[in-house]
């Protein structure tokens, strides 16, 4: 019987299993989770012939190295990087056949932050609440990869895509996030509201899968005290006591007590996954629907 599994040779700074996440459990305190750059996870899945909801690996900055126990097709996308098989350069952003026992090395990101590695058959760890995603906040799903770990793979269902290379958007040189004001914009002064949508912020090195933290002008409150905890949504821009906005990403808490000045449009969040520390950020006000 074919051994459908991947051995982790080098786990990298933070490599996790991700799929489309587990929406619908916020009332239980469970975040959505899932790939931060969902379109990129879907693209690499299509390249290897997987359904769009198959689990992939999400790398962070330093890539990873894997050794399949049977021949597989892989595709690497997201943050551009060098990819080799047994030391030989292979295509990034295209399906590549990796023989059994060969070493697939996904190198450090040249630009951007997060890479996505799809393997034919998908990563077949046990689902939790309908998803295989690692959730760093609640601890649900598989633990982040460690050296020596073994990941089961599903069966190959479809042939891989017949393309030389798939076009991919470059990581942002400047991150523009369209925001709908509120629900707690009345907690901030007029000067703060103006600064929020006219001044330039930068991505903080303290950012993670829970939230994109910013560096820049502090936003002054018009009210003192704190709110009772209330529900939080993906893309909420929460302002903690230091006044620097935090954009909630896939592993965000489902409740919070700091005021939410605005909510980022969902279509703009994948780019936030690839914004490296220091990247300029502009918040652009959009109309309420």
Q: In 10 A of CB 210, how many CB atoms?
A: 17
Q: What is the mean pLDDT of residues 78-99?
A: 96
pLDDT, tens digit, 9 for 90 and up, residues 3-30: 899 999 999 999 999 999 999 999 889 9
Q: 88: helix, coil or strand? A: strand
Q: 26: helix, coil or strand? A: helix
Per-position DSSP letters for 260-287, written without gaps between them? EEEEE-GGGHHHHHT--TT-EEEEEE--
pLDDT, tens digit, 9 for 90 and up, residues 108-158: 999 999 999 999 999 999 999 999 999 999 999 999 999 999 999 999 877
Phi, psi of 222, rounded to the nearest 5 degrees: -90, -15
For CATH 2.40.100.10, list the domain ranges present in the chain: 175-285
Is the alpha carbon torsion for 81, 86, 91, 92 positive or negative? negative
Of how many residues is the chain composed?
Answer: 289
Percent over 70 (pLDDT), the chain:
96
29 DSSP 8-state letter: T
75 DSSP 8-state letter: E
Is residue 174 exposed (0-12), middle (13-18) or buried (19+ Cβ within 10 Å)? exposed
Q: What is the pLDDT of residue 1?
A: 41
**pLDDT at 281 exceeding the cut of 70:** yes
Structure tokens at 234: 């993906």
**pLDDT at 242 exceeding the cut of 70:** yes
Per-residue buried b or exposed e for 58-73, using 16+ beta carbons within 10 Å of the residue's own CB: bbbbbbbbbbbebebb
**pLDDT at 167 exceeding the cut of 80:** no
Band of pLDDT at residue 186, cut at 50, 70 and 90: very high
Q: What is the pLDDT of residue 2?
A: 62
Top-confidence residue, 1 or 77:
77
**pLDDT at 66 exceeding the cut of 90:** yes
CATH: 3.20.20.70, 3.40.50.970, 2.70.70.10, 2.40.100.10. Which one for 175-285?
Answer: 2.40.100.10
Q: What is the mean pLDDT of residues 200-208?
A: 97
Q: Please enumerate in sequence order all residues whose Cβ is within 8 A of that of 127, keeping only pairs 6 or more positions apart, or say none.
A: none
**Mean per-residue pLDDT over the chain, rounded:** 94
Top-confidence residue, 162 or 151:
151
Structure tokens at 128: 């939790």
Q: What is the mean pLDDT of residues 263-274?
A: 95
Q: What is the mean pLDDT of residues 207-232?
A: 94
């Amino acid at each position: 019987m074919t051994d459908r599994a991947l051995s982790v040779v080098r786990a990298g700074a933070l490599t996790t299993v991700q799929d489309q996440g587990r929406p619908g459990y916020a009332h239980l305190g469970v975040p959505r989770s899932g790939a931060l750059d969902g379109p990129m996870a879907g693209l690499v899945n299509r390249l290897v012939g997987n359904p769009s909801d198959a689990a992939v690996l999400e790398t962070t900055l330093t890539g990873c190295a894997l050794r399949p126990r049977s021949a597989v097709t892989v595709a690497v996308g997201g943050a551009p990087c060098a990819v080799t098989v047994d030391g030989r350069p292979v295509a990034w952003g295209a399906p590549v056949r990796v023989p059994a026992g060969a070493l697939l090395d996904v190198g450090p990101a040249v630009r951007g932050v997060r890479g996505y590695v799809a393997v034919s058959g998908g990563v077949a760890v046990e689902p939790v609440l309908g998803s295989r995603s690692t959730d760093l906040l609640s601890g649900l799903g598989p633990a982040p990869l460690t050296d020596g770990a073994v990941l089961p793979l599903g069966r190959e269902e479809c042939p891989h895509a017949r393309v030389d290379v798939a076009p991919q958007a470059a990581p942002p040189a400047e991150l523009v996030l369209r925001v709908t004001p509120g629900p707690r914009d009345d907690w901030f002064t007029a000067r703060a509201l103006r600064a929020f949508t006219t001044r330039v912020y930068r991505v903080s090195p303290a950012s993670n899968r829970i939230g994109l933290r910013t560096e820049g002008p502090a936003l002054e409150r018009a009210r003192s005290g704190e709110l009772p905890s209330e529900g939080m949504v993906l893309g909420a821009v929460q302002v903690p006591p230091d006044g620097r906005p935090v954009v909630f990403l896939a592993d965000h808490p489902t409740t919070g007590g700091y005021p939410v000045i605005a909510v980022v449009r969902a279509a703009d969040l994948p780019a936030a996954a690839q914004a490296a520390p220091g990247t300029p950020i502009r918040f652009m006000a959009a109309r309420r629907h």
